[in-house]
Structure 1
């Protein structure tokens, strides 16, 4: 009880980020990691953690939270027939290799490089949401298997590096090749599970806890953050899905894209400027 009282502010902010991530995931179809990573990154710095350490812990903790939320999302998308099992069988091995490479590298590199990489991915993702239309496919179909292998490996590698579930990268990448958007989103939930399990375990086992890491950190995963975020993300994702049928999700997505663009540029500016 004393622990809860002493860290009440932290717990409340973490819980709020779980609610926010869950609603956005259900409302806009964006992965929770794209929300959770920057929230944790700035939150931990507010508690005196260095930016480098904050990014390492935010990345690993975000991956851990994606595990249960992906399981919940997979069930929902599979019930609607939107999970492409054939694509997953082709991509799973490549994604796994990319994740192992990316998550192992996270345990070795300076957190500032991860923050800059996240800033770049968030900025590109925001620009994609703002300016790309549903009919802007550049190719008529997916490329040959060797190039799909490159796509899958890259998705696993970069997603693990910045603590996101893969949808941020895989959905726009697949739809570039005229892949059905609803199948891309549904399959991205399964891709998130393939990314998050080995990625989180690698950072838990191989990660060296920074000396200034926030309380409750094991390896690179902040257990308090995980416990506070996960239940509320799972609980509020259906709320977001229900709101999507009542609100103009397209306009809300544009607003979120602007916020994401600002966040990505701010993370870049913290180290570049």
Structure 2
């Protein structure tokens, strides 16, 4: 297939299926879409398939957003069944988040690859510091802020998530815990945010990448039917089965962990992601 040795292709498929399982587990445990796992694996896949560097990173991000759709749906369903989701917050964020994703998708059409990595490092680093070293006194308030602030932050979540290929979990978790919401509730509510981000995000990346496909007619992995704009159907099909299967498992695990253990686990996870992209920028 595409001139790849059968042995290498077999290991690649196994790696993608395993990464899908980890993606689903993280979605349930941390209320995130798992894009931080999906993007690096997809980056390696597209390197093997000889996708040019100029379009490789946005192709990873767009595909990650598409992968998050079923994962977020299952994760949100599992958390909602436990009554942990604050629907009032999701209703306020719905419109600004979707509009922010649209803006982020337009930026993605013209942005250099390093922009995606830089945004990831900054957001992941701030979130990790808050979770690992923050104290209960690190708060902006004891309750959620007024609606205009909520709307503005919702738009920012949408833009940054669209550029990072994530479901917005670490952004909304950070915001909600700064306003005295329990980490379990923040995680559960964030799983619903992933739905609002992933569906318009995937559509936006199809739009953003569509005109660039004509620039690389000989790159089969970046042409229909293997890809639609910046969404790879190869990565999508290999991630979905195991990621969807593992999301409810992660959600059940999240509700068994103590508040501090969940914060530390999430913080370490974000630090690893931050370090990965930071060293990629230096290289």
User: How would you bin the TM-score normalised by the shorter chain?
Assistant: 0.7 to 0.9
Please list the CA deviations of residues 52-108 of structure 1 after superposition, one character each: whole Å capped at 9, or x if unmatched: 422111100110011111111221122122222222222111111111001121122
Q: Which residue of 2 aligns with 1:118?
A: 120
Counterpart residue number, 2:99: 97
SS at match of 2:93: helix
Residue 202 of structure 1, CA deviation: 1.3
Q: How many pairs align?
A: 273
How much has 1:145 moved relative to structure 2? 1.5
2:168 aligned with 1:132: no
> CA offsets, 1:5-25, max 9 Å, x none?
843332222111101112233
Cα pair 2:119 2:164 within 8 Å, conserved: yes
Contact 1:24–1:30 (CA<8 Å) still a contact in 2? yes
* Counterpart for residue 70 of structure 2: 68
Deviations for 1:200-241, whole angstroms, at most 9, x for unmatched residues? Answer: 011113313373574632210111111111110111223334
Query: Displacement, 1:43?
Result: 4.2
Say which is worse superposed, 30-39 or 239-248, in terms of deviation: 239-248
Are the counterparts in 2 of residues 52 and 112 from structure 1 also a CA contact under 8 Å?
no
**1:267 alignment counterpart:** 277
Q: Residues 27 and 249 of structure 1 are in contact (CA less than 8 Å); yes or no, is this contact kept in structure 2?
A: no
User: Separation in 1 of the partners of 2:187 and 2:256?
Assistant: 20
**Which ranges in structure 1 are unaligned for 5 or more consecutive residues?**
none
Give the structure-2-normalised TM-score.
0.83
> After alignment, is 15-24 or 40-49 more displaced?
40-49
Tell me the alpha carbon deviations over residues 156-210 of structure 1, each in whole angstroms, 9 at most, x when there is no partner: 1101111100111011111101123333222211111111111101111331337
Partner of 1:232: 242
Contact 1:97 1:156 in 2 (8 A): yes
Contact in 1 for aligned 2:27/2:247 (Cα 8 Å)? yes
TM-score, with length taken from structure 1: 0.86
In structure 1, the residue matched to 2:177 is 175
CA displacement 1:240-259 (0-9 Å, x = unmatched): 34555778896586466446
Moved more, 120-129 or 138-147: 120-129
Change (3 A) 1:202 1:104: same
